[in-house]
């Protein structure tokens, strides 16, 4: 009797765990046995999504760059974002590794050779990219209802943070780095954040995510507001290509208080959108 | 000698002026040459005046200054070390500057000029100290110490990368070299440093000429060998440090330009010094103009252009030298 019961139990377990083919953000088809029990996240943004979707109990290790939410500090570290520790990752025998893509290419190849499934999540916009990544990560636990609930909640936060439809659209220049001068281009999810906050990116036509631009382009496109996504030098407002724009003349040049909320494609984007929206409102009523 | 100097200098001056005109007229904002001229005399609309006088002109001046500094530094080091493969970055100074900049970026500091200058000065001091043996500057040791310190600082940067990788990409970008966002307030100080360096270098140029024939010969002819070596190493080091701190590591200029200039004007340092400076200025100015206009709307790293333009020219001169 006991033997039959265990046989049925094993068969049921085998039925529940099934190999799923997931297409990641770079078009790779990855076999993952879901629901997963152990995840290693190598990307700070994806770690935040894992927490948002309520999968943190399955998180066995993260990268040293994963610093939000605070609870990540207690987790094991499997190398850094740029140098993932393959040996350590392998030692956890994770069901899946979540990678931030591109720069981790070598680590991804090594993990694939070791038969560890790696999902590359690198969204380029919010609607199709980030929401899909949330579905992918949430889906790893197999609880579809929870996935739907969390995404609905996320959309509500995003909509609450976004600008009213009658908000006057301002031309905005967002600078990612000043030496060399790099802007947010049209193919970045940050472009979407700006749109939601009621701004129009002056480099929305650029085909790359973060193009290296010439300063006179900024003058030519004459933004109403300039937002810096990094800590600049002391007298940054004195830069010639800032001073020659409408933004520079009015003094509408801002540095984000918490750039991670904007720079990480994760659940804190609504807070990032709100930061940008507040800046735009402040400058519009000046 | 005088006739040759006047001839080469005039030709290079004309070429430099033409490159300046090109740099001022070309850019992502279409501005006609007439309007460029008008803007330079403060005529025309405010935006054009701003683009020409506050963006293109300072950038062109910086490109010429940095190019001149790197080429001059390369020419002096090649003569001092009697080695045509030496470039300013072989002295370890650029790696020292990069280490200073990397520390500043990782620490979240805002300005990079002071830390990179400090890093360059530290590297220069260490290399100089290691190369001194009983009060004599050993040139072979100098070369080895430079290479060694370069590797040491590169390893330290890699260590920083392994420990705090968050902002490494910014260090990588900085290392690629860039002239797009240099504080124009530094123009005057850089120019003073460069022209002072040229003045001192020219004053002792004949002694350096003699020194290139051999230290013992130079000593027997009354040249203060140790002083000359220290002076030229310091000039080359300071010029490299300033140029790296201003614009990152822009390759090939300090190696290729002195080679080409030597092939044309000969090894006399009295000619080599001004001509290397002018040719370096022309080369980097032309390269930077191409870097910011060839692939609009994006700008490409100027180091890519100096490599693409410089290497074929270098090979041509090498082949020409071989056939002769």
Q: Give the Cα separation of A145 and A20 in Å (integer).
A: 18
Distance from CA of B20 to the nearest CA of A (A): 17
Say if the Cβ atoms of A231 and B176 lie within 8 Å.
Answer: no
Interhelix angle B33-40/B2-25, nearest 10 degrees? 100
Averaged pLDDT of chain B:
85
Q: From A227, A130, A121, A248, select the one nearest A184 (Cα to Cα).
A: A227
Range list of β-strands (E), chain B: 132-133, 136-137
Tell me, what's the pLDDT at B323? 55
Alpha-carbon gap, residue A282 to A167, rounded angstroms:
12
pLDDT of residue A15: 47
Contact B29/A217, CB-based, under 8 Å?
yes
First-to-last C-alpha distance (Å) of chain B: 23
Show the tokens assigned to B185: 């307030």
Neighbouring CB atoms inside 10 A of A237's CB total 14
pLDDT tens string for chain A (286 positions)? 556 655 555 454 544 566 778 888 888 898 888 888 999 999 999 999 999 999 999 999 999 889 999 999 999 998 888 788 888 899 989 999 999 877 778 888 888 888 999 999 988 889 888 999 999 999 988 888 888 999 999 999 999 988 776 667 899 999 998 878 899 999 999 999 999 999 999 999 888 888 888 888 999 999 999 999 988 877 888 888 999 999 999 999 999 988 999 999 999 999 999 999 999 988 876 6
Query: What per-residue confidence (pLDDT) applies to A8?
Result: 56
A228 to chain B nearest CA, in Å? 13
Among A180, A208, A222, beta carbon nearest to B173: A180
pLDDT at B6: 84
Chain A residues whose C-beta sits inside 8 Å of any chain B C-beta: 64-65, 80-83, 103, 177-182, 203, 205-206, 208, 211-217, 219-220, 222, 231-234, 236, 239-241, 243-244
Indicate which of B58, B59, B109, B110 best probes the interface with A, i.e. most A CBs within 10 Å of its own CB.
B110
Contact A213 B297 (CB under 8 A): yes
Minimal-distance CA residue of chain B relative to A177: B170
Whether residue A69 contacts residue A84, with contact meaning beta carbons closer than 8 Å, is answered with no
Closest listed residue to residue B309, CA positions, set B272, B281, B274, B284: B284
Question: Which two three-digit tokens encode residue A253?
Answer: 């040049």
Q: How far apart are CA A278 and CA A257, in angstroms?
A: 12
Q: Model confidence over B85-128: pLDDT tens digits?
A: 788 888 888 888 888 888 887 777 766 778 888 888 898 889 88
Residues of A within 8 A of B161 (CB-CB) are 82-83
Question: What's the token pair of residue A198?
Answer: 């009621």
Distance CA A178, CA A175 (A): 7
């Amino acid at each position: 009797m006991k033997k039959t019961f265990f046989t049925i139990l094993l068969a049921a377990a085998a039925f529940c765990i099934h190999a799923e083919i997931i297409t990641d953000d770079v078009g790779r088809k990855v076999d993952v046995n879901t629901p997963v029990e152990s995840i290693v996240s190598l990307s700070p943004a994806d770690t935040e999504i894992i927490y948002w979707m309520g999968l943190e109990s399955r998180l066995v290790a993260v990268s040293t760059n994963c610093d939000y939410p605070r609870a990540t500090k207690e987790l094991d570290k499997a190398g850094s974002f740029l140098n993932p520790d393959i040996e350590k990752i392998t030692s956890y025998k994770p069901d899946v590794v979540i990678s931030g893509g591109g720069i981790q290419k070598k680590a991804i190849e090594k993990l694939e050779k070791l038969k560890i499934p790696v999902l590359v999540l690198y969204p380029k916009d919010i609607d199709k990219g980030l929401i899909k990544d949330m579905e992918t990560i949430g889906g790893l636990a197999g609880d579809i209802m929870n996935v739907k609930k969390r995404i609905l909640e996320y959309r509500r936060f995003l909509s609450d943070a976004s600008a009213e439809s009658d908000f006057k659209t301002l031309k905005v220049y967002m600078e990612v780095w000043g030496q060399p001068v790099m802007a947010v281009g049209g193919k970045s999810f940050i472009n979407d954040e700006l749109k939601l906050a009621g701004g129009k990116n002056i480099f929305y036509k650029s085909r790359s995510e973060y193009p290296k631009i010439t300063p006179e382009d900024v003058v030519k496109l004459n933004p109403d507001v300039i937002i810096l996504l990094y800590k600049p030098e002391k007298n940054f407002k004195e830069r010639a290509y800032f001073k020659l724009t409408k933004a520079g003349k009015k003094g509408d040049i801002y540095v984000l208080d918490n750039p991670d909320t904007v720079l990480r494609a994760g659940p804190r984007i609504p807070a990032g959108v709100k930061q940008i929206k507040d800046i735009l409102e402040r400058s519009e009523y000046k | 000698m005088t006739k040759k100097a006047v001839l080469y200098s005039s030709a290079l001056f004309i070429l430099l002026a033409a490159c300046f005109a090109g740099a001022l007229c070309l850019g992502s904002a279409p501005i006609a040459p007439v309007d460029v001229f008008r803007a330079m005399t403060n005529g025309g609309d405010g935006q054009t005046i701003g683009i020409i006088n506050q963006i293109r002109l300072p950038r062109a001046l910086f490109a010429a200054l940095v190019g001149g500094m790197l080429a001059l530094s390369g020419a002096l080091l090649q003569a001092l070390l009697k080695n045509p493969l030496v470039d300013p970055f072989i002295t370890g100074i650029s790696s020292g500057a990069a280490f200073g900049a990397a520390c500043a970026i990782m620490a979240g500091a805002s300005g990079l000029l002071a830390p990179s200058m400090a890093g360059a000065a530290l590297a220069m001091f260490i290399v100089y100290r290691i190369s001194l043996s009983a009060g004599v500057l050993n040139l072979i040791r100098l070369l080895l110490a430079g290479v060694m310190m370069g590797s040491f600082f590169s390893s330290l940067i890699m260590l920083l990368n392994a420990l705090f990788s968050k902002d490494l990409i910014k260090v990588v970008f900085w290392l690629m070299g860039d002239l797009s966002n240099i504080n124009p307030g530094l123009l005057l100080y850089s120019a003073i440093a460069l022209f002072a360096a040229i003045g001192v270098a020219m004053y002792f140029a004949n002694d350096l000429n003699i020194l290139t024939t051999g230290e013992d010969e130079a000593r027997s002819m009354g040249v203060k060998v140790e002083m000359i070596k220290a002076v030229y190493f310091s000039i080359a080091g300071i010029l490299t440090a300033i140029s790296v701190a201003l614009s990152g590591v822009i390759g090939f200029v300090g190696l290729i330009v002195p080679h080409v200039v030597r092939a044309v004007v000969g090894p006399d340092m009295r000619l080599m010094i001004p001509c290397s400076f002018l040719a370096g200025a022309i080369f980097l100015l032309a390269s930077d103009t191409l870097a910011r206009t060839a692939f609009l709307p994006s700008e490409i790293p100027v180091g890519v252009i100096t490599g693409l333009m410089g290497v074929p020219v270098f090979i041509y001169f090498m082949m020409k030298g071989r056939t002769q």
